[in-house]
Structure 1
């Protein structure tokens, strides 16, 4: 394992050197655990420009326009341009009111703004249109969880997990919700769910940490396992820091939780669930009201 770790560190050094970032990197693994914010891919910027040109100049049917607005909204969202994304999702729904995917995104943005009733309505609409829309179950569960309704969130997370029982992230979200109701029951279910996860899947380290199988430092060190690119590093750090922050918050260590949420945000992995809700978590920890960002939704 030591030899593998050294090889990975050498690979990271080479990768980061290509980006001009390897001038004085320490040899310790701690150096690789400092997030380097991802830049918006050039291809995303180019695709947004092309879609905008098509929407402005081409003769399109309402359904075609709705699909293009939705596609551009997804790209805006992945670039962290949430207000522009929301506007496009609402434009898509005005043209095509049966677009379940757009309702799912609208629900996410309502959740981030703390407008939970509107979020539930959006997710309900998505599920009425597409009963097997698995991510609508996840996102409705998250909205209920953040609204303090863990008892109602758990069934959605159970349904979400049942669709892919070997997904470690689904196991963790169910555990987070159940632990709000009963730590004993949550731990028992976590142990049962952990037994069916692939041991060679890196993400399995997350529920393993929550179950006490590995330490916080071991979880952090695991970020380097079979690492192949700077983007993968940023994605893993985004996830690890978010779930470590949740754990520290549960352990009544808000200052450490705040630091980890900030580090998750620093990765700029905008499209990840963990990045989306890290800012909401920061506001909750600080006792701040969520920013109302629903202008143009109605």
Structure 2
């Protein structure tokens, strides 16, 4: 399948989509040579000024612990938004030392621990968030994802299902419920997602569900994204989501080559605050680990056969 079927497609559209005709019909899995792209997000002047201003204010010696904790939290958020996660994590930890009753910080730290594979610490952080704020739905979702990456599929599904039931109209809750359920019962997972899709609304994320179910083609998905906005920030955000979930689909099918490429594309737009950007790194690590283990097993089997 070609991205553009005729040579008459305008050069302007080709530049906008970042695509070109695929001259070969032999590989139908990815129907484009140059995928749709957006300009990678960069730190804005406002973000840089905010970091500089907070850094200057934090040098004052007359700040109360409450005010200093709040400033550290704000600077941590600013660092996180431009991808400086180690600096953000340091500020969040210092803020908690001054004021431990901050549920949002525990949630953010839980995501960081998930990214680095420190799952016990992640679970504790999300538990702390929910103790302080039992209705924090972000922490519920993030705990389900941490349990999933921590290879506790049943606990992860129980959490994801609970989170989904709180808002069945949210396509991203449906997607994560499906992804986690695939480790337990693939046939049921797809049947349930199909049923959920039948009652979907017009929210953008349901296009991703349609793609996951093969209700629409990749070409249709990307054309819809490109037609939906001219704002580069929105385009970068939606492509980050699209490439991550498309990568996840290929990954679950065992197509590591395409999955790796798509996860890298999801990372490329610098949408640091989106979980799809964060979790792409985890998915790449999982693939590399699986490939390495498979290679070691192959080498061991060859050595055994030659003995």
TM-score band by shorter chain is 0.7 to 0.9
Once residues 173 and 188 of structure 2 are traced to their aligned partners in structure 1, the CA distance between those partners, rounded to angstroms, is 17
In 2, distance between residues paired with 1:134 and 1:11?
40
Local SS of the residue matching 1:57: coil
1:196: which partner in 2? 199
Partner of 1:95: 98
Contact in 1 for aligned 2:19/2:34 (Cα 8 Å)? yes
Maintained 8 Å contact 2:38/2:232: no
Equivalent residue, structure 1, for 2:215:
213
Match runs of 1:64-143 below 5 Å: 64-143=67-146
Corresponding position of 1:282: 284
Cα gap change, 1:212 to 1:141, in 2 (>3 Å): same
Give TM-score, length-normalised by structure 1: 0.84
SS at match of 2:271: coil
Q: Select the structure with the greater relative contact order (CA < 8 A; seq sep ≥ 6).
A: 1
2:161 pairs with 1:161: no
Q: Is the deviation greater in 81-90 or in 33-42?
A: 33-42
Alignment partner of 2:50 out of 47, 51, 58: 47
Paired residues of 1:36 and 1:266 also in contact (CA < 8 A): no
In the alignment, is residue 235 of structure 1 matched against residue 202 of structure 2?
no
Distance 1:60 1:11, change over 3 A: farther
Q: Would the aligned equivalents of 1:137 and 1:156 in 2 still touch at CA under 8 Å?
A: yes
Aligned mates of 2:99, 2:165 — CA distance in 1: 30
Q: Partner of 1:220: helix, strand, or coil?
A: helix
Structure 1 residues not aligned, in runs of 5+: 3-8, 17-21, 289-298
In structure 2, do the counterparts of structure 1 residues 229 and 27 end up closer, same or farther at CA, with 3 Å as the change threshold?
Answer: farther
TM-score, structure 2 as length reference: 0.82
- CA, structure 1 residues 149+223, in 2 after alignment: closer, same or farther (shift >3 Å)? same
Query: How far off its partner does 1:27 sit?
Result: 7.5
**Deviation per residue, 1:171-215 (Å, 9 max, x gap):** 1011100111111221222123223321x3222101111222112
Distance 1:93 1:194 in 2: 41
SS for the counterpart of 2:59 is helix
Q: For structure 2, list consecutive stretches of 5 or more residues without a partner in the other structure.
A: 5-10, 22-31, 291-307
Change over 3 Å in CA distance of 1:123–1:158 after alignment to 2: same
What does 1:142-157 align with in structure 2 at a 5 Å threshold? 142-157=145-160
SS in 1 for 2:58: helix
Residue 39 of structure 2, aligned match among 36, 44, 52: 36
| Deviation at residue 61 of structure 1 after TM alignment | 1.9
Distance 1:268 1:185, change over 3 A: same
Tell me, yes or no, if structure 1 residue 183 matches structure 2 residue 189: no
Q: Which of structure 1's runs of 4+ aligned residues deviate more than 4 A?
A: 9-13, 25-32
For residue 173 of structure 1, the aligned residue among 168, 172, 176 is 176
How many angstroms apart in 2 are the aligned matches of 1:258 and 1:139?
A: 23
Q: Distance in 2 between matches of 1:228 and 1:165?
A: 29
